[in-house]
Amino acid sequence: YLHYNFPPYCVGEVGRIGFTSRREIGHGNLAQRALKPVLPDYGDFPYTIRIVSEITESNGSSSMASVCGGSLSLMCAGAPVKSHVAGIAMGLITDGKRHAILSDIMGLEDHLGDMDFKVAGTRDGITAIQLDLKIEGISFDLLTEALEQAREGRMLILDKMYEAVPEPGEMSEYAPRNLTIQINPEKIGGLIGPGGKNIKKIIEETQCQVDVDDEGKVTVSGVDPARCQEAIDMVQAITFDPEVGMEFEGKVTRLMNFGAFVEFAPGREGLVHISEFEWHRVEKVEDVCKPGDKMNVKLIKIDDQGRLDFSRKALLPKPEGWKPPRPNPNKGRHNRPFKKRRF
């Protein structure tokens, strides 16, 4: 949004300051339209942008000055705009036979002239245009001449603007941060967790606001950029698809007689079978770990139900002279032999 304010004192007049005039609305819309094509997409820069152009003195086209000032302010504020935008007001003096096209007209030239032709744009083309005439009309040749002269003036202004601010700067460290990522909509339930457990944990640990829509767009808002990035990393850790061979640092959550479950991401865990703890035989799980211990593991298998099997020993050096044991058909989650029962 661009708010254009033109108080009476900027032209040496005395008047009431209150409701927005038609002139202020029109000039603000023109300047806003000129700048809009270079603004980043909301997905890349999820902020509401508001520019206030406060005219303190005017003896020319303050709307075109608002375009130039607005473009400079956007880059100085750190908005990733595509390029600078400059504007210039062209005038015309004609008696029907002879004519003179004026560049960057002043107040008197606007008042006594026959045309007020505002042209705004970048080095690549025009983004906004407005033509006011006091005569019946102008020829296409005259319009072409005015546009060409306006292009020369616009390029000169743009050169000066790029000398002053050549590229977008960095956002203020005090500006709020909004980061967005796209996740698979099928992962939304896992991100939220039972009763909102996972997403609440992210919010509590990072002090950031986390929102997710039905299409899988996750928005993280906060004051500290590092905390926001930490929240993004936690979201990605919950929603990514693990692949065999990946390594993780997890936390032991519970022990069973056949192994230990390790949480490798918030709300996601897998099994480390007792045979995958050490290269030598382990009699009891408790001899190796206890709940709450950190454990480095490697993903070695994903079964047809999506359950994950990890190995601790795969990340440990193999002992010299080690020989693999004979395969045990009873090893696994549900491969333990059934006992016959009499009825």
29 belongs to a structural domain = yes
Instruction: Count CB-CB contacts under 10 A for residue 14.
Output: 6
Taking only the tens of pLDDT, the chain with its 343 residues reads 899 999 888 888 888 887 888 889 999 999 999 999 999 988 788 888 999 999 999 998 999 999 999 999 999 999 999 999 999 999 999 988 899 999 999 988 988 999 999 999 999 999 999 999 999 889 999 999 999 999 999 999 999 999 999 999 988 888 888 888 898 898 888 888 888 888 998 999 999 999 999 898 999 999 888 899 999 988 988 888 888 888 888 899 998 888 989 988 877 889 999 888 888 888 888 888 889 889 998 988 888 888 889 998 888 887 776 666 666 655 555 454 445 555 4
- Which residue in the block uniquely carries the two structure tokens 């004192």? 9
Asked if 146 and 82 sit in the same domain, the reply is yes
Pairing relation of β-strands 247-256 and 294-302?
antiparallel
Answer yes or no: pTM beyond 0.85: no
Instruction: Count CB-CB contacts under 10 A for residue 49.
Output: 17
Asked if 142 and 208 sit in the same domain, the reply is no
CATH number of the CATH domain containing 216: 3.30.1370.10
CATH number of the CATH domain containing 276: 2.40.50.140
**How many domains are contained in the chain?**
3
Asked if 54 and 147 sit in the same domain, the reply is yes
341 belongs to a structural domain = no
DSSP string, 93-125: EE-SS-EEEEES--HHHHHHSSEEEEEEE-SS-
Q: Nearest to residue 73, comparing CAs of 112, 35, 125, 128?
A: 35
Asked if 144 and 291 sit in the same domain, the reply is no
Asked if 209 and 92 sit in the same domain, the reply is no
The residues, any chain, with a CB within 8 Å of residue 2's CB and separated by 6 or more, are 28, 31, 32, 35, 50, 51, 52, 53, 66, 70
Q: Which domain holds residue 285?
A: 247-315
Contact, 116 vs 23, CB < 8 A? no
